[in-house]
Structures are given as C-alpha cells and as structure tokens.
Amino acid sequence: MLWQINFKSGKPVYLQVVDQVKAAAASGAMQAGEALPSIRPLAEELRVNRNTIAKAYTELESQGVIETIPGKGCFIKSNNSPLKKEVRRKLLIEEIDQVIVQAHHLQVPAGEFLSLVRDRLAEIEERQRANDKQL
C-alpha cells in the first residue's frame, strides 16, 4: 500500500501511520491476516525515525488493530477485536466528536453534515464490495 506522510497536517507522524493502517484495514485495502512491512524497511522508505514507526506499531497493537507474532512480523487482526464493544464505541465517539468540531469550524451546518455522513458510508461500502468482488 502507498504510505504518505504529510508534515503539513499538524498531526504527529506516528499518528498518521496509525491512521493510515486503520483506514486501510477499514476500507479493505489491507485484509485481515495480511503482513505489515517491518519497522526498519518502512522507516527507511518513509525516511522517518525508526522509533516513530516503532511507536506507531506499538500504538496499533495496543488498539488491537494489529498483532505481532514473534519471528514472523506484524499482521492485521481480523475485525473481531478482543476489545469490548463499548470500548470500540467509545473510540468511535471520540472520532465523531472531533469531526463535529471540524464541521463547525468549516461552517458546515448540521443537516448538510448528516447527509454527508450518509453519502460517505454508502461510498465506502460500495468500495469494500468492489474489493471483495476483485478477490
């Protein structure tokens, strides 16, 4: 997959990596059980501090997105995360709150915001279906 680090986004680099992995897992670009690149080659490719990548992977593992098998590497975990549903809900609520604040900043009214959300859900579902069909 294509990794991109944007230094202008204001988000810490490790968080960008975490988000990209999570987005890939959610959109189906990376399947469950697929291997992530190991820390050193990824750090070299992105020309980013090795510790940053290590921190990102640790974060992903603590969030339950990936699992590390010693001797083999890091793999995407299947969507049935061991985290309890409430925790997952809580994480999602955090993200939703952030988006609402953004919308407010960008002066998008509530009604338009909701219709946008519905549109985006539809589109991502469509993309996942397309990916599944390819395989």
Counting contacts by CB under 8 A, is residue 20 touching other proteins? no
* DSSP assignments along 60-128, one per residue: HHHTTSEEEETTTEEEEPPS--SS-HHHHHHHHHHHHHHHHHHHHHTT--HHHHHHHHHHHHHHHHHHH
**CB of residue 130 to other proteins, shortest distance in Å:** 32
Measured from the CB atom, the residue of 94 and 132 that comes closer to other proteins is 94
SS3 35: strand
Q: Which stretch binds other proteins (CB under 8 A): 21-29, 44-52, 57-65, 108-116?
A: 44-52
Counting contacts by CB under 8 A, is residue 29 touching other proteins? no
Counting contacts by CB under 8 A, is residue 8 touching other proteins? yes
**CB of residue 10 to other proteins, shortest distance in Å:** 3
Q: Which is nearest to 3 in space by CA: 68, 56, 55, 51?
A: 56
Tell me how many residues contact other proteins (CB under 8 A). Answer: 23
Q: Which is nearest to 22 in space by CA: 84, 58, 66, 53?
A: 66
Site string for other proteins, 47-86 (x = CB under 8 A): xxxxxx-x--------------------------------
Tally Cβ neighbours within 10 Å of residue 46. 17
Give the residue carrying structure tokens 């975490």: 18
**CB of residue 103 to other proteins, shortest distance in Å:** 13
- Contact footprint for other proteins (CB under 8 A): 5, 7-13, 40-41, 43-44, 46-52, 54, 105-107
